[in-house]
Each structure stands twice: as structure tokens, then as C-alpha cells.
Amino acid sequence: MNIKLKLIDILSNGKIYSGNRLSKNLGISISSLSSKINILKSWGLDTHITSENEYYLLNSIKLINEKEIKSKLGKDTVLFIPVLNSTNQYLLDHIDFLRSGDICVAEHQIVGRGRHGRCWYSPFGCNVYMSMCWKLKHKRNILSSIALVIGVLVAETIQSLGVKNIYTKWPNDLYINGSKFAGILIEINKIRYNYTKIIIGVGINISMLNNFKNNLKINSQWITLKEIGYDINRNDLIVNLTKNFRKFLPIFEKEGFSPFLLRWKNLDSFTNKYVKLIIGKRELHGISRGIDNRGALILENNGKIQSWLGGEISLRTV
């Protein structure tokens, strides 16, 4: 364990520690300790220092338990890297050595990303950042609906932990109380004649402090599960998500989107609402009529109905 991670481990209980005690325990100077504290702040940790040179975290954090996750999922199938650029990018960089179902989990992503290259803010120790490699046996025509399948599985997994009123936004977001709390990023790497290797990225806001938003350029409203009263164990969530992905993706390969269509519709709260569909620089306005059996959005505009497989949907402002 490197010094910064050891420092986080010490401070994670929320107790106050003197600078002298910390520097002695870590075997570093006070000036080096101060430098490490600044790095932790850049990772999104709410570190504080008193006038008497004492250090603490404003809120205690429960760190991901690598041993527990590996014991439940298989130690050779889990890559736990506390700090990295991006879980998706790490798997893409090592995809030739991965098997279907291998996952990468992090406490902090330095340059986490969402769809269309957008930044996915990833502070240390409070959310879920995970990616899975999957070797999808062809049928190429099912690729367009895989984000919807993952959305269903993420929603249902979180519901099984007691969270209510989750709904989906086509094609890849999950919402509660009108605010986004989770997103999905699917990246296709290798297309072969009989299979495609894909990376499935999932980010879920568990307990991120909302005051971070004041310092961020985030356009959409977002929420965390903790602020609406849910205390979610991240280890359990990561394990349950992985098990469900490994269970249901083979069904998706064999049967396509059909087994998931009704499950998506039960989570979709945008059906029969006025929306705008953004495709590049284009905006199309109309009424969402749900999705078809390919997972395409059905949009009604001036009495004309058309299906769309690309873009992103948002409620039309009044």
C-alpha cells in the first residue's frame, strides 16, 4: 500500500490525528504530509486541518474491501486498482488478456468519462466506479440494445437493496426524484466475424457530497442515494451487479433484447411525455412512445412516428 492510500486508510474513520503522529506513522516529514493531503483533496476527499496542525476527514468513509469482493467473485476475475485514469480505459488497454466477466473496480478515477467524452466526476471512496469486459457472441443486431439491458440490470440490482422509485432514461441513465444518480458507458473494442469484445462501464452516485457540485461544470441535476436516505454497502452492490451481469448477459446473447423489453418499459417514465432528442447538433421534438423490440426510441412528431437508435433524450423545457 502506497503512502497516500495508507494515509486515507488511517483517516477513513473520521477521527482527528496530529500531524506529528501521522508523519511518524507514515515515515514522512510534515511538509511531505501536507503535500499528500493536498493530493487527497484533489481526489475529492474532504480533508481538513485545525489550527493545531491536526488532520481529519469531515465524514468517515467505508473503503472498498478488495478481499471480500474477490472471495465472492473469484480473485482472478477482479482487478481492484484504487486510483487510475478510468476503469473503462484500463480494461481497453488490457483487453487482449481479459475474459468475459472480468471486472475492474476503483475508488477514484482521475479522468472518468461518460458518453460523448463527457467528464464523469469520480471522487475517492464514495461512489461505485466499475467496468466489465464481455466477449459478446454475434448477433451484431443486438449491440444497439446492450446499454438498455445493462440499465435494467443496474436498476433491478439497486432495487433489490431496497431503493425505490428508480426509473430509466433512454439510452443509458438512471434517475430518482427527477435527478440522475447513475450512468452507463458501453465501448466496443474488437469486432470479429463471430464475436465482439465490449467494455461495460457503470458509475453510481452513492454518497458523494452535493457541495462538490458548486465547483463543477455539470449541466444535469444529479443526486446521491445517501442524501435520499439510502445507506448502500458498495461491496455488496459491486458483487451483486457483477453476478447479475454474468447471469443475464448470456441470456441476452442467446435471446436478444426480447426478455428485457417489458422490464425496461416498467422502468421507463418518459413514455407519452414531450421530449427532445439530441443527435449531434440536431434537436428533434415530439412525444416519446417508448422503445421498440430493438431498443430504439419511438418518437412521434406531428403525427409521424419514427424510431431512433442514436442520440440522447431529455425532457423538453417548457
Angle at 9 between CA 5 and CA 14, to 5 degrees: 130
Task: Please report the pLDDT score of residue 222 as a whole number.
Answer: 85
Question: How many angstroms separate the CA atoms of 69 and 239, rounded?
Answer: 6
Neighbours of 262 (CB within 10 A): 10
Catalytic choice (6, 72, 135, 180): 180
Task: Please report the pLDDT score of residue 189 as a whole number.
Answer: 81
Helix (H) or strand (E) holding 54: strand 54-57
Q: Is the dihedral of CA 202, 115, 261, 103 positive or negative?
A: negative
Neighbours of 30 (CB within 10 A): 12
CATH 3.30.930.10 region(s) of the chain?
66-266
Q: Average pLDDT over the chain, rounded to whole?
A: 89
Question: How many angstroms separate the CA atoms of 253 and 140, rounded?
Answer: 10
Catalytic choice (115, 135, 243, 263): 115
Task: Please report the pLDDT score of residue 206 as a whole number.
Answer: 95
pLDDT per residue over 136-165, tens digit each?
A: 886 666 788 999 999 999 999 999 999 999
81 backbone dihedrals φ, ψ, rounded to 5°: -125, 105
In the sheet where 47-49 sits, what is the strand order?
17-18, 54-57, 47-49
CATH 1.10.10.10 region(s) of the chain?
3-57
Residue 214 has pLDDT above 90, yes or no: no
Cα→Cα distances 71→66, 75, 103, 261, Å? 9, 6, 14, 33
Question: What would the grid cell of residue 41 be?
Answer: 483533496
195 backbone dihedrals φ, ψ, rounded to 5°: -160, 160
pLDDT per residue over 103-133, tens digit each?
A: 999 999 987 665 555 666 789 999 999 999 9
Q: What are the binding residues for biotin?
A: 86-88, 109, 113-115, 180
User: What residues contact 66, with CB distance under 8 A and at least 6 apart?
Assistant: 78, 80
Query: Regarding predicted confidence, which is higher, 139 or 88?
Result: 88
Q: Which CATH class is domain 270-315?
A: mainly beta
Task: Please report the pLDDT score of residue 195 as a whole number.
Answer: 81
* pLDDT tier for residue 283 given thresholds of 50, 70 and 90: confident
Total count of residues recorded for the chain: 318
Q: Which CATH class is domain 66-266?
A: alpha beta
Question: How many angstroms separate the CA atoms of 226 and 126, rounded?
Answer: 10
Residue 140 among the catalytic residues: no
Residue 218 has pLDDT above 60, yes or no: no
Give 3-57's CATH code, choosing from 3.40.50.720, 3.40.228.10, 1.10.10.10, 3.20.20.70: 1.10.10.10
Taking phi over 0 as left and psi of -120 to 50 as alpha, with beta for the rest, 314 belongs to beta
Question: How many angstroms separate the CA atoms of 136 and 197, rounded?
Answer: 6
* Residue whose cell numbers read 433489490: 160
CATH 2.30.30.100 region(s) of the chain?
270-315
Residue 234 among the catalytic residues: no
Question: How many angstroms separate the CA atoms of 129 and 184, rounded?
Answer: 10
Residue 61 has pLDDT above 90, yes or no: yes
Q: What are the binding residues?
A: 86-88, 109, 113-115, 180
